[in-house]
A and B are shown apart, each in its own frame.
Chain A
Amino acid sequence: MRLNGWLGVAAVALTVGGTALAETVKIGVVLPFSGANADLGHQVDKAFDLYVKLHAKDIEPNKIEIIKRDEGPPTGAQAKTVATELITNDKVQILTGFVFSPSAIALAPVVTQAKVPMIIANAGTAWITNLSPYIARLSFSMWHHGYPMGAYAFNKIGCKTAALAYTDFPPGKDSTEAFKTGFEKAGGKVTESIPMGSPVQVPDFTPFFQRIKDAKPDCMYVFIPSGAHATGVTKAYGELGMRKAGVKLIGPMDLIPDNKLQDMGDAAIGTVVMGNYAVDLDNADNKAFNKAWHEAYGKDSYPDFMSAAGWDTMHAIFDAIKKLNGKVEDGSKVIDVMKGWTGNGPRGQVSIDAATRDIVQDEHAMEVIRKPDGKLGIKVLGTTKAVKDECKELKVGRCGS
């Protein structure tokens, strides 16, 4: 009787104790849910939701609570207000999301002061990770794609001369500068550099492309913000018959986001990009990812590189929670766990550089082809493994600070 009693008490104590050990980790998700860039926010959000749904049991008994807020326009002000309140009001322990660089930039001093980790799922300005020791990035910097593309274009595609065209805002300048550095190092010559207007509206690309067509460089490296601009570029390129005229279209993968590829038509075939992800990438994780995506969101919906980055971001966060057993109040511990993290995801193997807290990933040179089933797809031409952000490696400009 006594033993039973004690066992009973012990059992109760263990259960109660066990439950008391389960933490609920609050994660603040800041993405543009409305406005001109809402489609980008939704691409990342869908990936977040999918990962959480499929992997919630990985961190049991701990739980996740996600609070979503609209990042607002790319001015930084709303993101800062919204994220600060997530920290002070909602008491989130981890912040993630951030499509726009200004949002992450504005928030850097706040996360340093509050000691809350900010895990960036998209914002690509190279020197962002230098702004605070609490920032880690899972997506990319413009230099991940631009710099290797420079050498690749000269050596493998046969571009002796190249014209640069970019949307006139910092990522555009960043990306073309990255390409130029790599291209000129390999021996190429940049003929001209054309800013193509503000990122807010999709401009009529024809006058810019016409000018390049008339100048006849071997290749044209184009940077535009992913989204509506991408379709506009391929359309203009096709309409002007530039491929026939001998000007090849190259660029970072923002040029051919998977969820818009099918709409681009024949004009896109032959475009070569450098990027970290494509729906057609041949690895087991990606196949499972695509399958799960179509099951959840329909067969006409496609993930793209932003979704892949979102997936890996949540993966990294979950791994951190697992490792710390749900005890994530100390932000610096979370960041320490993330430094040097490696994981397998739709992009293949990715890792976080311990020194810069930025992503290290494989970069693939990819060409747009028409697949046997009639749809447009990607063929991987070559892969550079474990590419780091060259801007910080070479300490170019602001990256050196």
Chain B
Amino acid sequence: MAASDTIGGTPRQRATDYLLRRHRFRMAEALPWLIAIAVFFIFPTRMTFGSQVLVMVMFALSLDLILGYAGIVTLGHAAFFGVGAYTVGLAAARLDWTEPISGLFAAAIAAGLVGFVTGWFLLRYRGLTLLMLTLATAILLQETGNLRSDISGGYDGLPGLTFKPLLGVFDYDLYGHTNYLYALTVLAIIFFFVRRIVYSPFGQALTGIRENVRRMHAIGSPVHRRLVTVYTIAAAIAGVAGALFTQTNAYVTLTVFDFDNSAKVMVMLILGGTGRLYGAFVGAAVYMVLEDYFSKLSPTFWQFGIGLMLVLAVLFAPRGILGLFERIGDCLAERKRS
């Protein structure tokens, strides 16, 4: 699509049209944010839960970058979440560094660094090999943490972390209001950052790598470098999610590195729909809300409900929930045309 494709209107109008189209800012995009804000007013007593949902959305978003856009399947994404979580935890518990926002930056840098190093070595592999290597990395990190449980607190973790009030002003209340708005703001900032990446030439290159890596090599695209870059960015974002996790819970244990964590976020993303940015929102929200609902319905057998939902999702919405919406949208559009 080139600027010359637009027809009619003044040059200014054509340019604006082009830019708008290029960055594809649709009205529907405001919806998730409006919903998130509405939830704050409609369900004020569920904000603790809400913060956890937002943390998972961010985590899933970081996974979408590498899974949905670059096509890298990994089972060790929890490693970066854990690094971020522990950066904040250790800083608060051992170094008395309790300023929250700088904590986020520290977590991003630490997790990004780990992502860069591991990505450099591991992204030469694919498929089952990469799955196992990334999984092993996460577990090895966890085992190291347990080895030095005098520092990490082991599985009992680092309790009683207190953080300075946000921006020096907003303190943390029992209902989790501050935490929710904090998480939402951070998510919004990160999201716009991710969105810019995805719709940039770099993002297009990633899609190219995902679709046909051989051809990308053939046209001289620095594939490995691109992959490591996006992996590092995704790791940093996962690290921020982990940092938020520690801050909103005021607690962190080694279980953040669990395979369960990596598997869960992947399931959420696939459920929502990969490669669509908002799939992370839909998938994480739907999964966690349903898990919460089923768990209240039957504290013992709720897994059946979740399992059934996943099976049905695969059978009837194979490209995720967003994929389902897209198909419905296409159907309706076709109907309108005919």
Interface residues on chain A, size class: 35 or more
Contact of A105 among B159, B256, B258, B299 (CB under 8 A): B159
Tell whether A87 pairs with B174 under 8 Å between CB atoms, given A34-B301, A80-B249, A81-B49. yes
- Say yes or no: is B146 at the interface (Cβ < 8 Å to chain A): yes
A158 at the interface (CB under 8 A from B): no
Q: Is A189 part of the binding interface, using a Cβ–Cβ cutoff of 8 Å?
A: no
Quick check: is A265 within 8 A (CB to CB) of the other chain? no
**Bound-state Cα–Cα, A75 to B159, Å:** 12
Task: Determine which of B156, B160, B299 lies in contact with A69 in the assembled complex, contact meaning CB atoms within 8 Å.
Answer: B299
Q: Which of B1-50 contact A (CB under 8 A)?
A: 45-46, 48-49
Question: Which residues of chain A are within 8 angstroms of B87 by Cβ–Cβ distance?
Answer: none
Whether a CB of chain B sits under 8 angstroms from the CB of A187 is no
Q: Say whether, besides A70-B299, A70-B302, A87-B174, A169 and B156 are in contact (CB < 8 Å).
A: yes
Note all chain B residues with C-beta closer than 8 A to A113.
174
Q: Are B48 and A109 in contact (CB under 8 A)?
A: no
Tell yes or no: A399 within 8 A of B by CB. no
Answer yes or no: B255 CB below 8 A from chain A CBs.
Answer: yes
Which residue among B46, B159, B251 has the maximum number of chain A CB atoms within 10 Å of its CB?
B159
B137 contacts A by Cβ under 8 Å: no
Contact pick for A89, options B45, B256, B299, CB 8 Å: B45
**A25 interface residue (CB < 8 Å to B):** no
Q: List the count of A-B residue pairs having beta carbons below 8 Å apart.
A: 98
Chain B, residues 281-301, CB within 8 Å of chain A (1/0): the string is 000000000000001100111
Q: Contacts A109-B250, A113-B174: A69 and B49 contacting too (C-beta < 8 A)? A: no
How many Å lie between the Cα of A199 and that of B156 in the bound state?
12
CA distance A69 to B300 in the complex (A): 10
Which chain B residues lie closer than 8 Å to A168 at the CB level? 146
Docked-complex contact A33 and B299, CB < 8 angstroms:
yes
Chain B: number of interface residues, binned into ranges? 20 to 34
The answer on a CB contact under 8 Å between A170 and B251 is no
With a CB–CB cut-off of 8 A, which chain B residues contact A69?
A: 295-296, 299
Taking the closest CB of chain B, its distance from the CB of A93, in whole angstroms, is: 15
Q: Which residues of B contact A76 (CB under 8 A)?
A: 157, 249, 251, 253
Q: Are A80 and B49 in contact (CB under 8 A)?
A: no
Minimum CB–CB distance for A104 against chain B, Å: 9
* Alpha-carbon distance between A63 and B295 when the two chains are bound, in angstroms: 25
| A88-B174, A169-B155, A170-B154 known; A38+B253 contact, CB < 8 A | no
Asked if residues B146 and A105 are in contact (CB atoms below 8 Å), the reply is no
Residues A169 and B176 in contact, CB atoms below 8 Å apart: no
Kindly supply a per-residue 1/0 record for chain B positions 133-156, scoring 1 wherever the CB is within 8 Å of any chain A CB and 0 otherwise.
000000000000010010001111
**CA–CA, A260 to B119, complex, Å?**
47
Asked if B245 is an interface residue, CB under 8 A from chain A, the answer is yes
**B175 CB–A CB distance under 8 Å:** yes
What distance in Å separates the Cβ of B236 from its nearest Cβ neighbour in chain A? Answer: 22
Q: How far is the CA of A72 from the CA of B258 in the complex (A)?
A: 14
Query: Counting CB contacts under 8 A, is A73 at the interface?
Result: yes
A253–B247 alpha-carbon span in the complex (Å): 37
B102 within 8 A of A: no
User: Is B260 in contact with chain A by the CB < 8 A criterion?
Assistant: yes
> Which of B46, B157, B255 contacts A73 (CB under 8 A)?
B255
> Quick check: A170 and B155 within 8 Å, CB to CB?
yes
Q: Is the CB of B255 within 8 A of A75?
A: yes
The B-contacting residues of A in range 1-45, CB under 8 angstroms, are 31, 33-34, 38, 42
B303 in the interface (beta carbon within 8 A): yes
| A228 shortest CB reach to chain B, Å | 17
Query: Please, how many angstroms separate the alpha-carbon atoms of A224 and B146 in the complex?
Result: 17
Chain B contacts to A: CB under 8 angstroms: 45-46, 48-49, 52, 146, 149, 153-157, 159-160, 162, 174-176, 245, 249-251, 253, 255-256, 258, 260, 295-296, 299-303
A residues in contact (CB < 8 Å) with B: 31, 33-34, 38, 42, 68-70, 73-77, 80-81, 84-85, 87-89, 101-102, 105-106, 108-110, 113-114, 125, 131, 168-170, 173, 198-199
Additional 17 contacts, C-beta under 8 A, given A105-B160, A106-B250: A38-B300, A42-B300, A73-B260, A75-B258, A76-B157, A76-B251, A84-B174, A88-B174, A101-B156, A102-B157, A105-B157, A106-B249, A169-B154, A169-B155, A169-B156, A173-B149, A198-B146
